Amino acid sequence: MSTLTAQSQAAAGPTPGRGRARQPRSRLARRRRRAGILLTLPAAAVVVALLGIPVGQAVYYSMTNWNGLTATWIGPGAYATALSDPTFWRVIENNALLLLSIPFAIGIPLGIAWLLHEHVRGWRFFRSVYFLPTAVSWVVIGMVAVQFFAQQGLMNKLLADVGLGSLQTNMLAGQRSALVALAITFIWSMLGTNTIIFLTGMATLDPTLIEAARVDGLNRRQIFWRVTFPLLRRFVQFSFVITVISAFSALFSLIFVMTSGGPGFGTTTLEFFVYQSAFALGQFGTGALYGIILFVIMIIVGLVQLRLIRSEDGEGW
Protein backbone atom coordinates (compact mmCIF):
# COMPACT_ATOMS: atom_id res chain seq x y z
CA MET A 1 0.00 0.00 0.00
CA SER A 2 1.44 3.38 -0.94
CA THR A 3 1.86 6.14 1.63
CA LEU A 4 -0.61 8.33 -0.22
CA THR A 5 -3.26 5.66 -0.15
CA ALA A 6 -2.65 5.01 3.53
CA GLN A 7 -2.98 8.71 4.30
CA SER A 8 -6.17 9.00 2.28
CA GLN A 9 -7.70 6.06 4.13
CA ALA A 10 -6.67 7.50 7.51
CA ALA A 11 -8.38 10.74 6.58
CA ALA A 12 -11.48 8.93 5.48
CA GLY A 13 -11.96 7.35 8.90
CA PRO A 14 -11.81 3.78 10.18
CA THR A 15 -11.08 1.07 7.58
CA PRO A 16 -14.21 -0.81 6.67
CA GLY A 17 -14.08 -4.55 7.21
CA ARG A 18 -12.97 -6.78 10.05
CA GLY A 19 -11.46 -4.04 12.20
CA ARG A 20 -14.56 -1.92 12.23
CA ALA A 21 -16.61 -1.95 15.36
CA ARG A 22 -19.96 -3.48 14.60
CA GLN A 23 -22.79 -0.98 14.64
CA PRO A 24 -25.55 -2.02 17.02
CA ARG A 25 -28.64 -3.08 15.05
CA SER A 26 -32.00 -1.65 15.81
CA ARG A 27 -34.60 -3.92 17.35
CA LEU A 28 -36.63 -3.75 14.11
CA ALA A 29 -33.61 -4.76 12.01
CA ARG A 30 -32.95 -7.72 14.31
CA ARG A 31 -36.57 -8.83 14.11
CA ARG A 32 -36.58 -8.50 10.36
CA ARG A 33 -33.42 -10.52 10.12
CA ARG A 34 -34.84 -13.24 12.34
CA ALA A 35 -38.05 -13.29 10.35
CA GLY A 36 -36.06 -13.51 7.12
CA ILE A 37 -34.11 -16.48 8.41
CA LEU A 38 -37.26 -18.18 9.66
CA LEU A 39 -39.08 -17.64 6.39
CA THR A 40 -36.12 -18.96 4.43
CA LEU A 41 -35.80 -22.08 6.54
CA PRO A 42 -38.60 -24.11 4.90
CA ALA A 43 -37.17 -23.51 1.43
CA ALA A 44 -33.65 -24.27 2.65
CA ALA A 45 -34.90 -27.45 4.33
CA VAL A 46 -36.58 -28.57 1.11
CA VAL A 47 -33.40 -27.94 -0.88
CA VAL A 48 -31.29 -29.83 1.65
CA ALA A 49 -33.78 -32.70 1.85
CA LEU A 50 -34.35 -33.07 -1.88
CA LEU A 51 -30.90 -32.18 -3.15
CA GLY A 52 -28.28 -32.07 -0.41
CA ILE A 53 -29.08 -35.39 1.24
CA PRO A 54 -29.36 -37.38 -2.04
CA VAL A 55 -26.11 -35.85 -3.28
CA GLY A 56 -24.45 -36.78 0.01
CA GLN A 57 -25.87 -40.30 -0.21
CA ALA A 58 -24.66 -40.61 -3.79
CA VAL A 59 -21.16 -39.59 -2.70
CA TYR A 60 -21.26 -42.23 0.03
CA TYR A 61 -22.64 -44.98 -2.19
CA SER A 62 -20.14 -44.13 -4.92
CA MET A 63 -17.49 -45.55 -2.61
CA THR A 64 -19.37 -48.78 -1.98
CA ASN A 65 -20.26 -51.93 -3.79
CA TRP A 66 -24.03 -51.39 -3.63
CA ASN A 67 -26.67 -53.46 -5.38
CA GLY A 68 -29.62 -51.54 -4.02
CA LEU A 69 -30.07 -53.86 -1.06
CA THR A 70 -26.66 -54.32 0.48
CA ALA A 71 -23.65 -52.02 0.36
CA THR A 72 -20.05 -53.02 1.02
CA TRP A 73 -17.62 -50.21 1.73
CA ILE A 74 -14.77 -49.88 -0.77
CA GLY A 75 -13.53 -46.39 -0.05
CA PRO A 76 -12.00 -43.72 -2.29
CA GLY A 77 -10.12 -46.50 -4.08
CA ALA A 78 -13.32 -47.00 -6.08
CA TYR A 79 -12.55 -43.74 -7.87
CA ALA A 80 -8.98 -44.83 -8.62
CA THR A 81 -10.32 -48.08 -10.09
CA ALA A 82 -12.88 -46.24 -12.20
CA LEU A 83 -10.36 -43.72 -13.48
CA SER A 84 -7.99 -46.50 -14.52
CA ASP A 85 -10.70 -48.15 -16.62
CA PRO A 86 -10.02 -47.56 -20.34
CA THR A 87 -13.74 -47.81 -21.05
CA PHE A 88 -14.37 -44.81 -18.80
CA TRP A 89 -11.89 -42.72 -20.78
CA ARG A 90 -13.46 -43.90 -24.02
CA VAL A 91 -16.78 -42.63 -22.73
CA ILE A 92 -15.27 -39.28 -21.74
CA GLU A 93 -13.72 -39.07 -25.20
CA ASN A 94 -17.18 -39.54 -26.72
CA ASN A 95 -18.49 -36.69 -24.58
CA ALA A 96 -15.61 -34.49 -25.69
CA LEU A 97 -16.19 -35.35 -29.36
CA LEU A 98 -19.87 -34.54 -29.03
CA LEU A 99 -18.90 -31.08 -27.80
CA LEU A 100 -17.51 -30.46 -31.28
CA SER A 101 -21.10 -30.37 -32.48
CA ILE A 102 -21.90 -27.36 -30.26
CA PRO A 103 -20.72 -24.69 -32.77
CA PHE A 104 -22.98 -26.26 -35.39
CA ALA A 105 -25.88 -26.58 -32.95
CA ILE A 106 -25.58 -22.82 -32.35
CA GLY A 107 -24.30 -21.51 -35.68
CA ILE A 108 -26.93 -23.11 -37.92
CA PRO A 109 -29.91 -21.86 -35.88
CA LEU A 110 -28.27 -18.44 -35.69
CA GLY A 111 -28.07 -18.30 -39.47
CA ILE A 112 -31.64 -19.53 -39.86
CA ALA A 113 -32.89 -17.02 -37.30
CA TRP A 114 -31.13 -14.22 -39.17
CA LEU A 115 -32.74 -15.24 -42.47
CA LEU A 116 -36.16 -15.43 -40.82
CA HIS A 117 -35.57 -12.08 -39.16
CA GLU A 118 -34.74 -10.62 -42.56
CA HIS A 119 -38.21 -11.77 -43.64
CA VAL A 120 -37.08 -13.83 -46.61
CA ARG A 121 -39.91 -15.16 -48.76
CA GLY A 122 -42.03 -17.68 -46.88
CA TRP A 123 -40.44 -16.84 -43.53
CA ARG A 124 -43.64 -17.50 -41.60
CA PHE A 125 -43.89 -21.02 -43.00
CA PHE A 126 -40.21 -21.72 -42.39
CA ARG A 127 -40.43 -20.40 -38.83
CA SER A 128 -42.98 -23.14 -38.08
CA VAL A 129 -40.95 -25.75 -39.94
CA TYR A 130 -37.76 -24.97 -38.07
CA PHE A 131 -39.56 -25.03 -34.73
CA LEU A 132 -40.92 -28.50 -35.46
CA PRO A 133 -38.03 -30.49 -33.87
CA THR A 134 -38.80 -28.86 -30.53
CA ALA A 135 -42.35 -30.13 -30.61
CA VAL A 136 -41.33 -33.72 -31.35
CA SER A 137 -40.28 -36.20 -28.68
CA TRP A 138 -36.58 -37.10 -28.78
CA VAL A 139 -37.58 -40.76 -28.83
CA VAL A 140 -39.49 -40.17 -32.06
CA ILE A 141 -36.58 -38.15 -33.45
CA GLY A 142 -34.29 -41.07 -32.62
CA MET A 143 -36.56 -43.61 -34.31
CA VAL A 144 -36.75 -41.47 -37.44
CA ALA A 145 -32.97 -40.96 -37.38
CA VAL A 146 -32.42 -44.73 -37.28
CA GLN A 147 -34.51 -45.06 -40.43
CA PHE A 148 -32.71 -42.13 -42.04
CA PHE A 149 -29.17 -43.40 -41.41
CA ALA A 150 -29.91 -47.11 -41.99
CA GLN A 151 -28.23 -48.94 -44.82
CA GLN A 152 -31.51 -49.06 -46.71
CA GLY A 153 -32.47 -45.68 -45.30
CA LEU A 154 -33.36 -42.33 -46.77
CA MET A 155 -29.85 -40.89 -46.65
CA ASN A 156 -28.36 -43.66 -48.77
CA LYS A 157 -31.31 -43.53 -51.13
CA LEU A 158 -30.79 -39.81 -51.63
CA LEU A 159 -27.08 -40.36 -52.24
CA ALA A 160 -27.89 -42.99 -54.86
CA ASP A 161 -30.49 -40.76 -56.50
CA VAL A 162 -27.99 -37.94 -57.00
CA GLY A 163 -25.36 -40.27 -58.39
CA LEU A 164 -23.27 -40.51 -55.24
CA GLY A 165 -23.97 -44.18 -54.63
CA SER A 166 -20.30 -44.80 -53.91
CA LEU A 167 -20.67 -42.73 -50.74
CA GLN A 168 -23.42 -44.96 -49.37
CA THR A 169 -22.61 -46.23 -45.91
CA ASN A 170 -24.27 -47.75 -42.89
CA MET A 171 -23.47 -44.92 -40.51
CA LEU A 172 -24.87 -46.62 -37.42
CA ALA A 173 -22.59 -49.63 -37.93
CA GLY A 174 -19.27 -47.84 -37.41
CA GLN A 175 -18.15 -46.57 -34.02
CA ARG A 176 -17.06 -43.13 -35.23
CA SER A 177 -19.71 -42.79 -37.93
CA ALA A 178 -22.44 -43.66 -35.41
CA LEU A 179 -21.18 -40.87 -33.18
CA VAL A 180 -21.34 -38.49 -36.15
CA ALA A 181 -24.90 -39.67 -36.86
CA LEU A 182 -25.77 -39.04 -33.23
CA ALA A 183 -24.21 -35.58 -33.35
CA ILE A 184 -26.14 -34.69 -36.52
CA THR A 185 -29.38 -35.82 -34.89
CA PHE A 186 -28.53 -33.81 -31.79
CA ILE A 187 -27.86 -30.69 -33.86
CA TRP A 188 -31.21 -31.15 -35.60
CA SER A 189 -32.95 -31.70 -32.24
CA MET A 190 -31.59 -28.40 -30.92
CA LEU A 191 -32.47 -26.50 -34.09
CA GLY A 192 -35.94 -25.32 -33.07
CA THR A 193 -35.06 -24.28 -29.55
CA ASN A 194 -31.98 -22.32 -30.54
CA THR A 195 -33.67 -20.73 -33.56
CA ILE A 196 -36.48 -19.44 -31.37
CA ILE A 197 -34.00 -18.11 -28.81
CA PHE A 198 -32.15 -16.16 -31.50
CA LEU A 199 -35.35 -14.96 -33.17
CA THR A 200 -36.54 -13.67 -29.82
CA GLY A 201 -33.20 -11.95 -29.31
CA MET A 202 -33.33 -10.30 -32.70
CA ALA A 203 -36.85 -9.08 -32.03
CA THR A 204 -35.61 -7.22 -28.97
CA LEU A 205 -32.93 -5.30 -30.90
CA ASP A 206 -33.42 -1.60 -31.45
CA PRO A 207 -34.15 -1.26 -35.21
CA THR A 208 -32.68 2.24 -35.27
CA LEU A 209 -29.22 0.75 -34.67
CA ILE A 210 -29.58 -1.43 -37.76
CA GLU A 211 -30.92 1.51 -39.68
CA ALA A 212 -28.04 3.70 -38.55
CA ALA A 213 -25.56 1.03 -39.65
CA ARG A 214 -27.27 0.83 -43.02
CA VAL A 215 -27.09 4.61 -43.38
CA ASP A 216 -23.40 4.38 -42.53
CA GLY A 217 -23.01 2.14 -45.57
CA LEU A 218 -22.65 -1.32 -44.02
CA ASN A 219 -23.94 -4.23 -46.08
CA ARG A 220 -26.13 -7.01 -44.64
CA ARG A 221 -23.23 -9.25 -43.72
CA GLN A 222 -21.35 -6.43 -42.04
CA ILE A 223 -24.47 -5.38 -40.14
CA PHE A 224 -24.89 -8.93 -38.87
CA TRP A 225 -21.32 -9.35 -37.65
CA ARG A 226 -20.74 -5.81 -36.39
CA VAL A 227 -24.13 -4.91 -34.96
CA THR A 228 -26.58 -7.78 -34.65
CA PHE A 229 -24.24 -10.50 -33.38
CA PRO A 230 -22.58 -8.41 -30.63
CA LEU A 231 -26.00 -7.30 -29.41
CA LEU A 232 -27.15 -10.92 -29.34
CA ARG A 233 -24.28 -11.96 -27.07
CA ARG A 234 -26.54 -12.68 -24.09
CA PHE A 235 -28.77 -14.91 -26.20
CA VAL A 236 -25.80 -16.75 -27.68
CA GLN A 237 -24.46 -17.35 -24.18
CA PHE A 238 -27.82 -18.67 -23.01
CA SER A 239 -28.09 -20.91 -26.05
CA PHE A 240 -24.52 -22.13 -25.47
CA VAL A 241 -25.32 -23.04 -21.86
CA ILE A 242 -28.44 -25.04 -22.63
CA THR A 243 -26.83 -26.75 -25.63
CA VAL A 244 -23.78 -27.85 -23.63
CA ILE A 245 -25.95 -29.08 -20.79
CA SER A 246 -28.12 -30.99 -23.27
CA ALA A 247 -25.03 -32.55 -24.87
CA PHE A 248 -23.90 -33.81 -21.48
CA SER A 249 -27.11 -34.79 -19.83
CA ALA A 250 -30.06 -34.94 -22.20
CA LEU A 251 -28.94 -37.28 -24.95
CA PHE A 252 -30.00 -40.45 -23.17
CA SER A 253 -33.19 -41.03 -25.14
CA LEU A 254 -31.48 -40.43 -28.49
CA ILE A 255 -28.66 -42.83 -27.65
CA PHE A 256 -31.00 -45.44 -26.22
CA VAL A 257 -33.17 -45.48 -29.32
CA MET A 258 -30.52 -45.00 -32.00
CA THR A 259 -27.57 -47.10 -30.89
CA SER A 260 -27.95 -48.32 -27.29
CA GLY A 261 -24.49 -46.87 -26.79
CA GLY A 262 -22.91 -48.97 -29.55
CA PRO A 263 -21.39 -50.20 -31.73
CA GLY A 264 -18.97 -51.16 -29.00
CA PHE A 265 -18.82 -48.15 -26.71
CA GLY A 266 -18.79 -45.84 -29.75
CA THR A 267 -21.78 -43.74 -28.70
CA THR A 268 -21.80 -44.35 -24.96
CA THR A 269 -21.66 -41.03 -23.13
CA LEU A 270 -21.08 -40.61 -19.42
CA GLU A 271 -24.80 -40.11 -18.86
CA PHE A 272 -25.56 -43.40 -20.64
CA PHE A 273 -22.71 -45.11 -18.79
CA VAL A 274 -24.37 -44.17 -15.49
CA TYR A 275 -27.59 -45.81 -16.65
CA GLN A 276 -25.85 -48.93 -17.89
CA SER A 277 -23.81 -49.42 -14.74
CA ALA A 278 -26.73 -48.90 -12.41
CA PHE A 279 -29.66 -50.31 -14.30
CA ALA A 280 -28.30 -52.74 -16.87
CA LEU A 281 -25.70 -54.30 -14.61
CA GLY A 282 -27.44 -53.62 -11.29
CA GLN A 283 -24.31 -52.01 -9.87
CA PHE A 284 -25.81 -48.96 -8.25
CA GLY A 285 -22.58 -48.08 -6.43
CA THR A 286 -20.68 -47.84 -9.70
CA GLY A 287 -23.58 -45.92 -11.23
CA ALA A 288 -23.45 -43.45 -8.33
CA LEU A 289 -19.70 -43.07 -8.84
CA TYR A 290 -20.05 -42.16 -12.51
CA GLY A 291 -22.98 -39.93 -11.60
CA ILE A 292 -20.78 -38.01 -9.17
CA ILE A 293 -18.10 -37.62 -11.82
CA LEU A 294 -20.73 -36.30 -14.26
CA PHE A 295 -21.97 -33.96 -11.52
CA VAL A 296 -18.46 -32.60 -10.94
CA ILE A 297 -17.90 -32.13 -14.69
CA MET A 298 -21.18 -30.24 -14.97
CA ILE A 299 -20.20 -28.01 -12.03
CA ILE A 300 -16.89 -27.22 -13.71
CA VAL A 301 -18.58 -26.53 -17.07
CA GLY A 302 -21.14 -24.33 -15.30
CA LEU A 303 -18.49 -22.37 -13.43
CA VAL A 304 -16.45 -21.82 -16.60
CA GLN A 305 -19.54 -20.59 -18.41
CA LEU A 306 -20.42 -18.31 -15.48
CA ARG A 307 -16.89 -16.99 -15.47
CA LEU A 308 -16.97 -16.28 -19.20
CA ILE A 309 -20.30 -14.50 -18.98
CA ARG A 310 -19.38 -12.41 -15.96
CA SER A 311 -15.89 -11.52 -17.11
CA GLU A 312 -17.40 -10.01 -20.26
CA ASP A 313 -19.65 -7.93 -18.02
CA GLY A 314 -16.61 -6.76 -16.07
CA GLU A 315 -17.70 -8.59 -12.93
CA GLY A 316 -15.90 -11.26 -10.96
CA TRP A 317 -17.42 -14.50 -9.67
Please pick, from the candidates 57, 81, 200, 237, the single residue that binds other proteins as defined by CB under 8 A.
81
End-to-end Cα spacing for the chain: 25
Q: Is 75 in the site for other proteins (CB under 8 A)?
A: no
- Closer residue to other proteins (CB): 224 or 273: 273
Considering only 265, 272, 273, 290, the residue that binds other proteins (CB under 8 A) is 265
DSSP the chain: --HHHHHHHHHH-SPSSTTSPPPPPPHHHHHHHHHHHHHHHHHHHHHIIIIIHHHHHHHHHTTEEE-SS-EEE--THHHHHHHT-HHHHHHHHHHHHHHTTHHHHHHHHHHHHHHHHTT-TTHHHHHHHHHHHHHS-HHHHHHHHHHHHSTTSHHHHHHHHTT-GGG---GGGSHHHHHHHHHHHHHHHHHHHHHHHHHHHHHTS-HHHHHHHHHTT--HHHHIIIIIHHHTHHHHHHHHHHHHHHHHHS-HHHHHHHTTT-STTTT--HHHHHHIIIIIS--HHHHHHHHHHHHHHHHHHHHHHHHHHHHHTT---
Measured from the CB atom, the residue of 148 and 240 that comes closer to other proteins is 148
- Region binding other proteins by CB under 8 A among candidate stretches 168-176, 186-194, 201-209, 308-316: 168-176
Tell whether residue 165 is a contact of other proteins (CB under 8 A): no
The verdict on 69 binding other proteins (CB under 8 A) reads yes
Q: Is 152 in the site for other proteins (CB under 8 A)?
A: yes
Instruction: Based on the shown chain and the rule CB under 8 A, indicate whether residue 87 belongs to the binding site for other proteins.
Output: yes
**Contact flags string 273-292 toward other proteins, x per CB under 8 A:** ---x-xxxxxx---------
170 binds other proteins (CB under 8 A): yes
As measured in angstroms, the least distance from the Cβ of 90 to other proteins is 9
252 makes contact with other proteins (CB under 8 A): no
Shortest gap between Cβ of 275 and other proteins (angstroms)?
A: 9
Tell me if 263 contacts other proteins by CB under 8 A: yes
Q: Check binding of 258 to other proteins (CB under 8 A).
A: yes
Residue 64 bridge partners (DSSP): 73
Interface with other proteins, residue 168, by CB under 8 A: no
Q: Give the range of 8-16, 68-76, 231-239, 299-307 binding other proteins by CB under 8 A.
A: 68-76
Residue 66 has phi, psi (to 5 degrees) of -120, 125
Tell which one of 210, 223, 257, 270 touches other proteins (CB under 8 A): 257
Stretch that binds other proteins, among 14-22, 166-174, 240-248, 294-302 (CB under 8 A): 166-174
**C-beta of residue 184 within 8 angstroms of C-beta of residue 191:** no
The footprint of other proteins (CB under 8 A) covers 65, 67-70, 81, 84-87, 142, 146, 150-152, 170, 172-175, 256-265, 268, 276, 278-283
